[in-house]
Amino acid sequence: MSAAQPTTTWRERLTSPLTWHVAGFVVLLLLAIGLAVPLGMDWAATNSHSSDVLAGKQIQLRALELQTVPLRGLDGRVEKTRDQMMSFYDKRIPPNYSSIDTRIGELQVASGVRLTRVQYAQNPPGAGLVEITMDAGISGEYPAIMHFINSVERDPIFFVIRAMSLTGQQGGQVNLRLQLSTWLRPAAAAASGLPLNAPPASPAPAPAPAAPAGREGE
């Protein structure tokens, strides 16, 4: 009787609900651990990728901030530049053709030279101004001519000397050809009636070589 009792007790323990509860808990625990390990690995990989993406976005944002630094206050600089241009136009761009002609005459008298001829022409209209070209012949003593040239360069009206060439000299008198430019607003240039500068002439075609004369008797 005593020998059979341990066997019966062991079987009772196996069939006990508590034993099955413990076994079920262990199985569920093992399943939970098995699921938690890959989930944790996936979370770690996702977290690392998110950190890399965030760092990349922060770098891109910083680069954009550095690129936009020169553009800050651009509207104010554009307005300031526009005001400076308008001030330059008002002070140094002549209002009409007559003011150019009058000023050249005043500089001629002040320097003591003589303008033998002045030819005016205008280039095709540009975006904001029209270039007016002048081709003038000047005669006078050398100091007077240099005084005239310096006065033209420093005049409040915006003159630009394009070319100078000596055309003759006799005694103390010097003859000079002077080409210079100034600018007018499109409306003033249209009202001036000045001729347009002719485009450069295309070179004439070279004559065809003459055919060799045939020898007598052929």
CATH number, domain containing residue 188: 3.30.70.60
Render each residue's pLDDT in the chain as its tens digit; 218 residues.
Answer: 444 455 556 666 656 666 666 677 777 777 777 777 677 676 666 666 667 777 777 777 777 777 776 667 767 777 777 788 888 888 899 999 899 999 999 999 999 999 988 999 998 877 788 999 999 999 999 999 999 999 999 999 999 999 999 888 887 889 999 999 999 998 888 888 787 775 433 334 444 444 444 444 44
Between strands 130-141 and 173-184, the pairing is: antiparallel
Regarding whether 178 and 135 lie in a shared domain, the answer is yes
Domain count for the chain: 2
Is there a domain that residue 67 lies in? yes
Is there a domain that residue 112 lies in? yes
Is there a domain that residue 2 lies in? no
Regarding whether 31 and 112 lie in a shared domain, the answer is no
Cβ proximity of 189 and 122 under 8 Å: yes
Regarding whether 136 and 50 lie in a shared domain, the answer is no
**What span, in angstroms and rounded, lies between the C-alpha atoms of 22 and 9?**
18
Contacts of 173 (CB under 8 A, 6+ apart): 139, 140, 141
Is there a domain that residue 104 lies in? yes
Regarding whether 100 and 64 lie in a shared domain, the answer is no
Cα angle, residue 16 at apex, residues 13 and 22 outer, rounded to 5°: 95
For residue 201, give the DSSP letter. Answer: P
Backbone angles phi, psi at 208, to 5 degrees: -70, 140
Is there a domain that residue 77 lies in? no
Regarding whether 180 and 101 lie in a shared domain, the answer is yes
Q: What is the pLDDT of residue 113?
A: 95
Regarding whether 140 and 53 lie in a shared domain, the answer is no
Q: What is the pLDDT of residue 65?
A: 73
Regarding whether 114 and 180 lie in a shared domain, the answer is yes
For residue 157, give the DSSP letter. Answer: S
Regarding whether 109 and 68 lie in a shared domain, the answer is no
Regarding whether 124 and 174 lie in a shared domain, the answer is yes
Contacts of 105 (CB under 8 A, 6+ apart): 115
Q: What is the pLDDT of residue 107?
A: 95
Is there a domain that residue 176 lies in? yes
Instruction: Give the up-direction half-sphere exposure of residue 123: CA atoms within 13 A in the CB hemisphere.
Output: 16
Is there a domain that residue 110 lies in? yes
Domain span holding position 144: 94-192
Regarding whether 144 and 54 lie in a shared domain, the answer is no
pTM: 0.56
Regarding whether 141 and 51 lie in a shared domain, the answer is no
Regarding whether 106 and 65 lie in a shared domain, the answer is no
Q: What is the pLDDT of residue 204?
A: 41
